[in-house]
Amino acid sequence: MSTHRRTNVLDVVRAVTEVAPLHPGVAVWWYVPRLLHDPKIELLVEVDRDAAVDIEQAARDVGSRLQHATIHVRPHPGADEERRLFKVVSRKSQEAERGSQ
């Protein structure tokens, strides 16, 4: 049995919420649910049309906060995405949080 703590969805939400302001070109971060014991975390990002976002750096930034998981970040493919996704954070939610501080 592994002594490592499994990453849960709350860990992912916390990590993405911390990392999102570092990547202002990302409008929305999505979480792709995986099998219970799958150590991989997959995130999709909706990027502003003219924004230059370093997807690999975004993965490293999230990964630095989730030490026991493999992080995959990729652009959201748009309406063709058939899997069930969970919105983690969007620019609107970030702006609302800043306004309440």
What pLDDT, on the 0 to 100 scale, is given for residue 93? Answer: 57
Measure Cα distances from 43 to 30, 58, 96 in Å.
Answer: 5, 10, 22
| Domain ranges for the chain | 9-99
Count H helices and E strands in the chain, helices first.
3, 4
Q: How does residue 97 score in pLDDT terms, banded at 50, 70 and 90?
A: low
CATH architecture of 9-99: 2-Layer Sandwich (3.30)
Residue 1 has pLDDT above 50, yes or no: no
Sign of CA dihedral 77, 62, 9, 97: negative
Average pLDDT of the residues in 83-96: 77
Q: Please give the model's pTM, rounded to 2 decimal places.
A: 0.80
